[in-house]
Chain A
Amino acid sequence: MATVFVANRSSVLIDGNAVEGLQSLAFRVVTEREDIRAVGSSERIDVSFGLRTVQGEIVVKSANYVLDTHLNEQSKFQLVTNLKKDQAADAPKRTLSFDDCFVEGKSFGMDAGGTAITTYAFSATRVREE
């Protein structure tokens, strides 16, 4: 079951600039893994972990030209999300930073209200929570 957060007051910044019309941001951390075998044993004797990367999707209303440019030019950017439930000073907040992001693809769709939405698939080197 995926973990779902809902943030009422939030901002997503790409290289410090806000993303307008953001609907959702989803991400998962993917770690390469290899089981180590040994002759004479039917069990693995150890596990070797490899690259860890972050795969994500950003869903925006209509489209986002900044992300389109990053996709066309295959350029790197940083994504910072400041998540806050409401405007109260003591409302819980979380900041997630995605480093060395690349946009890898995009797809189009329609949401329930008939508005066009664009989904941008991206990958990042790491995600940090501050």
Chain B
Amino acid sequence: MADDIRIEIDDIAYRLAFSGFNKPMNAWSPNGAEIALQPWPLGEHLRTLNECAILTATGLKLDVQAFGRRILEYCKAPQPLHQLFLPLALWWANGGEAPKPTRQGDVYQFSTFKARLRPWSAADRYAALADCQYEDEQGEIRFNLGAYLLTMLEASVLTLDPSHLSLAELDSASTNALLNTVSELNVIDSEALAKSPLGSPLAAQQTLRLCRELGWTPSQVWSTPAAELDRLSQLLDITHPQTNDTASAGPTTTFTDHPDTVIIRIEDD
């Protein structure tokens, strides 16, 4: 049974017969126009992202208008209603506020499904980056964002439960939740690391020392008991004493090297 709800997006009040993002939904505008929105699958989402995301000098930009129109075309909404229902279509494709999944080991419980996830390896990422770059007819380098995200999902999602679910058919709410979770696994928040105790100068120095000497990853260092770390550091001090690295950067710049320096040389008689 669909819930009759009202939602305001971009100052337009829509009325919805909402039964979840995995079921079709009817929507009415304030002036009574009606459309039916179909579940927006992950496969279509990534294909559309690829066509509407543009790589600029300042980063990735999404052509929101084009993206919204593609959603409405997919749902076979009449063309004259596209502009009116564009904000709603974007909300529909975003899947609403995705609650964080609960986690037990490597199994994540989402609202309507479970997934076993793993972080993708550096080799997976390099391969995806190489495969998703291409040259267009004008010789410009382009990036296939949809294919990249799909490769990341396929590498990170080991199993889905129920087993009949396929990645490409996940609805927009599930897509949003899964993409967010997989991105958190695979993309570091460098600001958070720098601000956390693990990013402090002392922790960074000790962590890198152990990584260099023992070939460990930072995660292995951080999960080692603290007393064990102290023993390792002490043994390393005995066998490989630390030396202070004095500044030995390249050639130093003297005052007279500056291009705007005026030099007066006094010659002898």
Q: Is the interface of B mostly helix, strand, loop or mixed?
A: mixed
* Nearest A-chain residue to B268, judged by Cβ: A8
Q: Is the CB of B264 within 8 A of A5?
A: yes
Give the contacts of A72-111 with B (CB-CB under 8 A): 81, 83
Judged by a CB distance under 8 angstroms, whether B261 is at the interface is yes
Closest Cβ–Cβ distance, residue B77 to chain A (whole Å): 34
Closest Cβ–Cβ distance, residue B141 to chain A (whole Å): 22
Contacts of B5 on A, CB cut-off 8 Å?
A: none
Size class of the B contact interface (CB-based, 8 Å): 10 to 19
Q: Is the interface of A mostly helix, strand, loop or mixed?
A: strand
Judged by a CB distance under 8 angstroms, whether A118 is at the interface is no
Interface string of B235-269 (1 = CB under 8 A from A): 00000000000000000000111111111111101
Q: Is the CB of A2 within 8 A of B263?
A: yes
How many angstroms from the CA of A79 to the CA of B259 in the assembled complex?
23
Q: Is the CB of A24 within 8 A of B265?
A: yes
Judged by a CB distance under 8 angstroms, whether A37 is at the interface is no
* Nearest A-chain residue to B58, judged by Cβ: A42
Contacts of A55 on B, CB cut-off 8 Å?
A: 255
Q: Is the CB of A7 within 8 A of B265?
A: yes
How many angstroms from the CA of A2 to the CA of B259 in the assembled complex?
5
Contacts of B262 on A, CB cut-off 8 Å?
A: 2-3, 5, 26-28
| A83 touches which of B259, B264, B269 (Cβ 8 Å) | B264
Judged by a CB distance under 8 angstroms, whether A23 is at the interface is yes
Q: Is the CB of B266 within 8 A of A26?
A: no
Judged by a CB distance under 8 angstroms, whether A25 is at the interface is yes
How many angstroms from the CA of A12 to the CA of B262 in the assembled complex?
15
| B258 touches which of A5, A6, A28, A81 (Cβ 8 Å) | A28
How many angstroms from the CA of A10 to the CA of B262 in the assembled complex?
16
Q: Is the CB of A26 within 8 A of B264?
A: yes
B-side interface residues toward A, CB under 8 Å? 255-267, 269
Known: A2-B256, A27-B262, A83-B264. 10 other contacts (CB 8 A): A3-B262, A6-B265, A22-B266, A23-B265, A25-B263, A26-B263, A27-B261, A28-B255, A28-B260, A55-B255
A-B pairs with beta carbons under 8 Å apart, 18 shown: A1-B259, A2-B256, A2-B258, A2-B259, A2-B263, A3-B261, A4-B265, A6-B264, A7-B266, A8-B267, A10-B266, A22-B266, A24-B266, A25-B266, A26-B264, A28-B255, A57-B255, A83-B264
